[in-house]
Amino acid sequence: MDISIVIPLLNEEESLPELHAWIHEVCTRNSYSYEVVFIDDGSNDGSWKVIKGLKAAHDNIKAIRFRRNYGKSAALHSGFQVCEGEVVITMDADLQDSPDEIPELYQMITKMGFDLVSGWKKKRYDPLSKTIPTKLYNWATRKMTGIYLHDFNCGLKAYRVDVVKSIEVYGEMHRYIPVIAKREGFSKIGEKTVIHQARKYGTTKFGLERFVNGFLDLLTITFISKFGKKPMHLFGTLGTLMFFLGLLLFLWIGGSKLYCLWMDIPAKNIADQSGFYIALTTMVLGTQLFLAGFVGELVSANNPSRNKYKIKEEL
């Protein structure tokens, strides 16, 4: 099979027939063998009924229905588990992603050798309340991950099938699939300018809380990527540094006091000096950070996937 098209959705009953007809027209015109995987993420409208009707008329549709809303990451992960195409393309169900982009995305994976191609909605039809946070989020992600994409959160992406079979998407980590893929060794990541269409049906699912959650997830994925298997390298280094800085300050204060006593010079008690408490606090925090790294290493040592590595080739 050439292409699997994975579509997570939430309350999109009006757009689904038009979206499927558009995908069918594009794939038929280009002679692609394809399947469409719908994941209903707890819709409370008639979306599932529409999907059942489409499946009754087309044998190349797969569908998964969640009991409640688990989020886009869970929907994508479930879709990735069942897809079978050589190239996997994800898109949103609200018709803002154009299926006309499918042929070029497919060519970029199969002919140009990309592991992953991310869409870039260069011209957007979203309100400022969405576009401004998105620009800030993309800038921060580029700086922290070293992956220079313009639009990490674009729902329109294409993957080689072994990419989606090798990664785990959870929580709200769908925004960082390129980061997760790179961490797993899929480093050939491309970008394509795609058409962004104004929403035709329904309402946006975007809220400012998603921007806050996205930033927190960025910190999480950055930490896991760099220190997931070696937490002591971060916590141990910081803890040791803080402990010795505190110790040096304490020795300076103590040495100054002893010198004053030796030379019979009036001096404050050590406990009356603010530096003493700064030194003590720094040493305590350093010890706690070191212990946090030690506990992290114990957890990592008992992780069943600690020594499981992705093998690209074997002779």
Q: In terms of domains, do 250 and 197 share one?
A: no
Q: Are 106 and 2 in contact (CB under 8 A)?
A: yes
Distance CA 271, CA 201 (A): 69
pLDDT score of 293 = 82
pLDDT score of 105 = 96
44 has pLDDT over 80: yes
Q: Is residue 315 in a domain?
A: no
Domain boundary among 170, 204, 227: 227
User: CB under 8 Å to 113, separation ≥6 — which residues?
Assistant: 188
The tens digit of pLDDT for each residue in 83-98 reads 999 999 999 998 989 9
- Mean local confidence (pLDDT), 66-91: 93
Estimate the crossing angle of helix 208-227 against helix 128-145, to 10 degrees. Answer: 10
- Mean local confidence (pLDDT), 124-153: 76
- Mean local confidence (pLDDT), 27-49: 95
Higher pLDDT, 127 or 219: 219
- Mean local confidence (pLDDT), 133-143: 78
Higher pLDDT, 100 or 257: 100
Q: Are 142 and 218 in contact (CB under 8 A)?
A: no
Distance CA 206, CA 208 (A): 7
Q: Is residue 309 in a domain?
A: no
Q: Is residue 312 in a domain?
A: no
Q: Are 138 and 150 in contact (CB under 8 A)?
A: yes
Q: Which H/E stretch holds residue 77? A: helix 72-82
Q: From the CB of residue 232, how many other CB atoms can be counted at a distance below 10 Å?
A: 19
Q: In terms of domains, do 105 and 220 share one?
A: yes
- Mean local confidence (pLDDT), 80-85: 94
Q: What are the Cα distances from residue 164, in Å, to 2, 33, 119?
A: 15, 19, 17
Q: In terms of domains, do 185 and 40 share one?
A: yes
pLDDT score of 109 = 96
Higher pLDDT, 295 or 165: 165
Q: In terms of domains, do 20 and 129 share one?
A: yes
Most confident of 95-99, 113-117, 140-144, 224-228: 113-117
Q: In terms of domains, do 202 and 241 share one?
A: no
Distance CA 262, CA 273 (A): 19
Distance CA 147, CA 189 (A): 8
- 3-class DSSP state for residue 152? coil
pLDDT score of 122 = 80
Q: In terms of domains, do 163 and 194 share one?
A: yes
Q: In terms of domains, do 27 and 142 share one?
A: yes
Estimate the crossing angle of helix 16-29 against helix 102-110, to 10 degrees. Answer: 50
Q: In terms of domains, do 247 and 216 share one?
A: no
Helix (H), strand (E) counts: the chain: 10, 7
DSSP 202: S
Q: Which two tokens stand for residue 293?
A: 């790294």
- Mean local confidence (pLDDT), 52-60: 93
Domain boundary among 178, 198, 227: 227
pLDDT band at 297 (very low <50, low <70, confident <90, very high): confident
Q: In terms of domains, do 142 and 258 share one?
A: no
pLDDT band at 57 (very low <50, low <70, confident <90, very high): very high
Query: H helices within 228-308, ranges in order?
Result: 231-262, 274-301
Which residue range(s) make up the domain with 148? 3-227
The tens digit of pLDDT for each residue in 183-207 reads 888 989 999 999 887 776 766 655 5
CATH number of the domain enclosing 82 = 3.90.550.10
Domain boundary among 210, 227, 244: 227
Q: Is residue 306 in a domain?
A: no
Phi, psi for 192 (deg, rounded to 5): -135, 130
Q: Write down the pTM of the prediction.
A: 0.74
Q: In terms of domains, do 249 and 209 share one?
A: no
Q: From the CB of residue 28, how many other CB atoms can be counted at a distance below 10 Å?
A: 10
315 has pLDDT over 50: no
Q: What is the mean pLDDT of the chain?
A: 85
Q: In terms of domains, do 180 and 132 share one?
A: yes
Distance CA 65, CA 44 (A): 11
Instruction: Give the bridge partners for 306, in sequence order.
Output: none
Residue with tokens 């309402």: 203
75 has pLDDT over 60: yes
Q: Is residue 133 in a domain?
A: yes
How far is CA 255 from its chain centroid? Answer: 51
Q: In terms of domains, do 193 and 51 share one?
A: yes
The tens digit of pLDDT for each residue in 151-183 reads 888 889 999 999 999 988 887 788 889 988 988
Q: How many domains are there within the chain?
A: 2
